[in-house]
A and B are shown apart, each in its own frame.
Chain A
């Protein structure tokens, strides 16, 4: 892989630098069971805000595309899940899962070749409020993932 210069609309580097002031993120918080994200929605913060679970599907990855996910409601059934758009698109990276007020943090890896989603289906897999992770498309088949999930009990991998 090599650095790719992309011809996008941008806050370009002119004579000095650039700033983004008065910053307000776009929030996707529809509290629905399933939601397909679009390329135009890149840069948004997507909420896990429905106790009965939310499943987001990412768009086809284009290098640099970014989404942030934040849990604002503890789940109690089903899953807080993010899936890639295809069985041939994968997550690469790791997330940490920790439990409240207990020295318990451990990391879990996504290998970039078989992992097609993150699915928190229990306290053990991190479906509690405060969990946050970010995905950034690295290329047309991989999303980098990093973040921290809040769980309970004997924590285990959320990757599927």
Chain B
């Protein structure tokens, strides 16, 4: 992103002082069912907390990135070993950043990176690549082709990257 982009959006505007958002309640998106083809998230849902809330395969697909668009993801139900929790970008957009993957009660956490050029999604298998209860990450669109990602995944065993190129 070459420069700050000023966007003409509806806003909590900066007037004479500043702004606060009190009594804040996030919109929660809970798919609550297996979805291997993918639940398409929309621009209107930006700002939501999206749940991975089934033991089976659940895939979310991000909308076309618009700078500043944000989604957070939380695993409320661990995925079983034979299935995966997935997040994919739309064609032509990629994840850039890193997450840490750690395991319960063992000093094992390691950072894994998404390169912003070939990593088009992530897949957690309930063990080495995260997907256990408590996994949390946030994506924020930083251009029309890249989502910044940061967060912490809970896994088990020898942790490995959840980021995928296909």
Contacts and interface: CB of A to CB of B under 8 A. Distances in A.
A87 to B, nearest CB: 21
A121 interface: no
Nearest to B101: A107
Nearest to A154: B107
Interface size class on chain A is 35 or more
Interface residues of B, number: 53
> Interface residues of B: mostly helix, strand, loop or mixed?
loop
Nearest to A6: B25
Interface stretch (A21-29, A49-57, A72-80, A122-130): A21-29
Contacts of B30: 1-4, 138
Interface of B: 7-15, 17-32, 43-44, 46-47, 49, 51, 53, 66, 68-69, 74, 76, 100, 102-109, 132-136, 152, 154
Q: 7 closest pairs, A vs B, by CB?
A: A94-B134, A43-B24, A22-B14, A64-B25, A146-B136, A105-B109, A93-B134
17 contacts: A3-B28, A11-B21, A14-B10, A17-B7, A17-B43, A17-B66, A21-B14, A22-B15, A23-B21, A24-B20, A63-B25, A96-B100, A96-B102, A106-B108, A110-B134, A138-B28, A148-B152
